[in-house]
Amino acid sequence: MFVDHEWPLQNGFCDMCGLQIKAWQKVRAQYDPARFAAFQAQRDAEEAQRVARRIEKMAQFSNREVQEEAMHRLTLSHIDWLESQGIPQGVQEYLRIGFTPDKAYYNKERELMHSPAFTFPWFNADFEFKTMQYRLTNDTDRRYIFEDGLGGGQHYYMTEPDRPISDKVIICEGVKKAIVTQFWLAEGFTVLAASSANTFDAALEATKNCGLRYLIFDPAPNDYFQRKAVATNPKTTRIVRLPYKVDDGWAKYGLDRSIFHSLLETVI
């Protein structure tokens, strides 16, 4: 039985039969095999639908021609903007960054919205496609979203998907920050990205046996996520604390490769 609040405001939900109990109800229920079977059948059907949708989406977005079509939609102004963010045109082509003129999505109020968007395919080793992330251009409250059905938080992003993960790794919070770190700041490191501070798990699991790991969160991250990340391997994991986002450091505050590596050497 799952409960979601402290007593006396607990709502309950049985994950075996689906019975829901509100905080103000007094319920005495017995196990009902028929109810359980019906609930389990419904869950199995929903899971089958999710699997089928993911297979369909994977077939669509992992297609090289689909990725190249998005790349070909990049105009000169798009390329210039990406370069201003620290992503040179050659890197854009290498990582198959593209553009779509109309990405449909739901905002926080569950209203259907539309926006042009840059497309960032997420690859693992050997360009194995994992998911598609969009950088919306018309929504300042929700700039980054993932393709529905492909997930995001359970994956990590490789800035050099044609190379294996090395023994020295940097993990950044966000794709653009990881790309800037890889091509302008780091030297001799594999640079990965997680989508947010609370989704480092996949990257941490993939690098758990590496000899040295630096983690770069955005300024003022939740201490819980930092402690959780370090706890996966305290001997090899270091937190790099910057007063700015790492890509802003490169673009606005004079952070270069020499300064960056000097900072890494001071991290305990």
DSSP string computed for 31-92: --HHHHHHHHHHHHHHHHHHHHHHHHHHHHHT-HHHHHHHHHT--HHHHHHHHHTT--HHHH
Peptide bond before residue 161 is cis, with ω within 30 degrees of 0: no
Level-2 CATH architecture, domain 153-268: 3-Layer(aba) Sandwich (3.40)
Q: What pLDDT is attached to residue 233? A: 92
User: SS3 for 105?
Assistant: strand
Burial of 22 (0-12, 13-18, 19+ CB in 10 A): exposed
Q: What are phi and psi of 113, to 5 degrees?
A: -125, 165
Residue with tokens 């829901």: 20
Q: What's the whole-model pTM score?
A: 0.79
What percent of the chain lies above the pLDDT cut of 90? 59
pLDDT in tens, 130-182: 989 999 998 767 789 998 777 778 899 999 999 999 999 999 999 999 999 99
162 phi and psi angles, rounded to 5 deg: -95, 5
Scanning the structure block, which residue is given the tokens 């000097």?
Answer: 262
Tell the CATH topology of 65-152.
DNA primase DNAg catalytic core, N-terminal domain (3.90.980)
The residue ranges of every structural domain in the chain are 65-152, 153-268
